[in-house]
Amino acid sequence: MKKTVFAALLMLAAATAFGAEKRWVVSEGTTLKSEQSISAANLADLPVGAELTLVEDGGRWLKVQTADGKEGWVYAGRVADAAPVAEVGGGDGLLGGTMQQSQINTAKADSARSIRGLSPETAAYAKQHGTPEALKKELDRILARKVSDKEVKTFLKEGKIGEYAR
Amino acid sequence: MKRLIVSLAAFSCLAALPAHAGWQDKLNNLMNPESKEGKILSGATQVLSSSQEMTYQTECTVGESLALDSMQRFGKPVNNEALQKYVNLVGNAVARNSRRSTIPYRFVVLDSPVQNAFAAPGGIVFISRGLLNLLDNEAELAAVLAHEVGHVAEKHALKSIRRAQFLQGAASITAATMKGSKGQQFESMIGDMQSTLFDKGLDQGMEFEADQAALETTYRTGYDPSAMTTVLEKLKRQEATATKNGSWFSTHPPLDERLVRVAAGLKKYPDRASLAKLPTRFAKFAKGGKASKTTK
Note whether residue A44 is domain-resident.
Answer: yes
Calculate ∠ Cα A141-B110-B148, nearest 5°: 95
Q: Is position B165 within any domain? A: no
Whether B226 is in a domain gets the answer yes
Print the domain residue range for A49. 2-80
Q: Does A27 touch chain B (CB under 8 A)?
A: yes
Based on the domain organization, do B202 and B268 belong to the same domain? yes
A12-28 residue pLDDT tens: 555 444 568 999 998 88
Which of A14-23, B88-97, B136-145, B217-226 is predicted least confidently? A14-23
CA torsion sign, A164 to B100 to B127 to B55? Answer: positive
B89 in the same domain as B156: yes
Q: What is the CATH number of the domain that holds A31?
A: 2.30.30.40
pLDDT digits (tens, 9 = 90+) for B6-65: 444 443 433 443 444 455 565 565 555 555 555 454 444 433 334 457 888 889 999 999
Of A106-110, B121-125, B216-220, give the lowest mean pLDDT range. A106-110
Do B230 and B140 touch, CB atoms closer than 8 A?
Answer: yes
**How many angstroms away from the CA of B16 is the closest CA of chain A?**
26
Give the pLDDT confidence score for residue B177 in this predicted structure.
Answer: 83
Mean residue pLDDT of chain B comes to 81
In this structure, the answer to whether residues B93 and B25 fall within a common structural domain is no
A145 contacts on B by Cβ (under 8 Å): 84-85, 88, 106
B183 in a structural domain: no
Q: Which residue has the higher pLDDT, A165 or A98?
A: A165
- Is the model's pLDDT at A94 over the cut of 50? no
The alpha-carbon gap from B209 to the nearest alpha carbon of chain A, in Å, equals 15
Residue A122 lies in a domain: yes
Residue B176: predicted pLDDT: 82
pLDDT of residue B170: 62
The answer to whether residue A97 sits within a structural domain is no
The residue-averaged pLDDT of B256-271 equals 94
Q: Are residues B104 and B41 in the same domain?
A: no
Express as a percent the part of chain B with pLDDT over 70.
75
Phi and psi of A132, rounded to 5°?
-55, 145
Question: Residue A84 and residue B190: Cβ atoms within 8 Å?
Answer: no
User: Closest Cα partner for B169 from B34, B45, B8, B36?
Assistant: B45
Q: Roughly what angle, to the nearest 10 degrees, separates helices B181-194 and A120-129?
A: 80
Report the domain count for chain A.
Answer: 2
Interface test with B, best of A3, A23, A26, A79 (most B CBs within 10 A): A26
* Least-confidence region, from A56-65, A84-93, B242-251: A84-93
ipTM of predicted complex: 0.78
Where helices occur in A18-98 by DSSP H, the ranges are none
Question: What's the pLDDT tens digit per position in B126-178?
Answer: 999 999 999 999 999 999 999 999 999 999 998 887 666 676 666 678 888 88
Rounded to an integer, the average pLDDT of A54-61 is: 90
pLDDT at A58: 83
**What pLDDT is recorded for position A59?**
83
Judge if B33 and B145 occupy the same domain. Answer: no
The answer on pLDDT for A152 being more than 50 is yes
pLDDT of residue B187: 87
Indicate the average pLDDT of chain A: 80
Range of the domain at B46: 2-50
Do B116 and B226 have their domain in common?
A: yes
**Do B8 and B135 lie in a common domain?**
no
Which of A18-22, A127-131, B82-86, B95-99 is least confident? A18-22
Indicate whether B264 pLDDT > 90. yes
Residue B219 maps to a domain: yes
Residue B296 has pLDDT above 70, yes or no: no
Q: Is B64 in contact with A90 (Cβ distance < 8 A)?
A: no
Same domain, A63 and A130: no
Question: CA-nearest residue of chain A to B191?
Answer: A129
Query: Do residue B45 and residue B134 come from a single domain?
Result: no
**What are the tens digits of pLDDT across the range A58-81?**
888 999 999 999 999 999 989 988
Considering A80, A107, A126, which residue would you say is the last residue of a domain?
Answer: A80
Task: Return the pLDDT at B286.
Answer: 93
B8 and B139 belong to one structural domain: no
State the total domains in chain B: 2
Tell whether B156 and B273 lie within a shared domain. yes
Last residue within a domain, chosen from A63, A80, A97: A80
Q: How far apart (Å, rounded) are the C-alpha atoms in residues A109 and A106?
A: 5
Residue B95 belongs to a domain: yes
CB B213 within 8 A of CB B99: yes
Together in a domain, A56 and A7:
yes
Nearest to A165 among B97, B101, B222 (CB): B222
Regarding whether B111 and B87 lie in a shared domain, the answer is: yes
pLDDT at B294: 41
Cβ contacts (< 8 Å) between A131 and chain B: which residues?
A: 68-69, 72
B106 interfaces chain A, CB cutoff of 8 Å: yes
Within-domain flag for B177: no
Contacts of B175 in chain A (CB under 8 A): 120-121, 123-124
Q: A125: helix, coil or strand? A: helix
Percent of chain B residues topping a pLDDT of 90: 51
The pLDDT of residue A47: 92
Instruction: Grade residue B117 by pLDDT with cuts at 50, 70 and 90.
Output: very high
- Whether A86 maps to a domain, the answer reads no
Edge-to-edge strand ranges of the sheet holding A30-33:
A42-46, A30-33, A71-75, A61-65, A51-58, A22-25, A79-80
Query: CB count, 10 Å around CB of B105?
Result: 24
Q: Which residues in chain A are closer than 8 Å to B154, comparing Cβ atoms?
A: 85
Identify all chain B residues contacting A28, using CB atoms and an 8 Å cutoff. 96, 101-102
Of A102-111, B16-25, B254-263, B271-280, minimum mean pLDDT range? B16-25
What is the pLDDT averaged over residues A43-62?
A: 92
3-state secondary structure of A36: coil
Same domain membership, residue B281 and residue B249: yes
Mean pLDDT of the B80-90 span: 97
Say if B34 is an interface residue toward chain A (CB within 8 Å): no
Alpha helices per DSSP H over chain A? 2-17, 99-116, 120-129, 133-144, 149-158
In a domain, A101, yes or no: no
* Contact at CB, A110 and B103, closer than 8 angstroms: yes
